[in-house]
Amino acid sequence: MRERVSPAVAIGIGVVLVFVVVALLFGFTVIPEEEEAALTIEFDPVAYVDDNWEAVQASIHDNAVPLANVLNEFEPGPDGQAATEDLTPIAEALGLITTGEAHVYRVIGSGTVSDVDVETSKGSIGIDVDGYDGPVEVRAWIGTRIPSDESSVRDGTGFIAFNDFSDQTEYGKVAKEINNKVVENLEGLDKENLVGKGIDFTGAFTLRTFNQPVVDISEIRIVPIEVTQR
């Protein structure tokens, strides 16, 4: 007398047969253990920036132009605005234009600190830039925190590209960690006693022009990778 196969066993055998048929028809890929482990490793922005920090600094330094030269090219109207089409040739000559159409300038300069605002974590200083006496107000971030949407240094490197990362989140984390490095570099600055003092600085700033026929350039804010009191 033939032994009957239970329904559960029959279903299991059926599933196996279906898998075998699908595998024969379409094939399957075996991922080596090393590659599988790599796929599960979470992106580490701290390690990425640590590994690339010297290159980030060098890129800003090596491509920096005198800030006064940039500002003397700007011609804001009475309302502090300028047409994007007038700003674009300046960015092409003295800065760079990102894939998102932002104008990024790597700059170096000197000047006198006009005021210090450290009432919040996003502190800044005003700078009277040597060689410039126009209407554009210049400030530099010196706080313990830099705004989360600030990406001037990342974008100013020219070699950190969005396509190098899996998504916008990773790309954004790189900008944030670079800004953390900037803050670390400024820890030795005597922020409370800077007014009236001369400084030398290197950094980057951005004008966001995407879908903007005119841009407010009444004020620029520099992310400084270096500030030295004279």
Q: What is the pLDDT of residues 169-188, one digit of tens each?
A: 999 999 999 999 999 999 98
Mean pLDDT of the chain: 88
**Mean pLDDT (whole number) for 97-109:** 96
Q: 108-145: per-residue pLDDT in tens? A: 999 999 999 999 999 999 999 999 999 999 999 999 99
| pLDDT higher than 80, residue 10 | no
User: Above 80 in pLDDT, residue 35?
Assistant: no
Q: Cα separation of 102 and 95, whole Å?
A: 10
pLDDT of residue 82: 98
pTM of the model: 0.82
pLDDT value of residue 41: 74
17 has pLDDT over 90:
no
> What average pLDDT does range 60-89 have in this prediction?
98
| Bridge-based pairing state of the strands 81-83 and 214-216 | antiparallel
Please give the average per-residue pLDDT across 59-63, as a whole number: 97
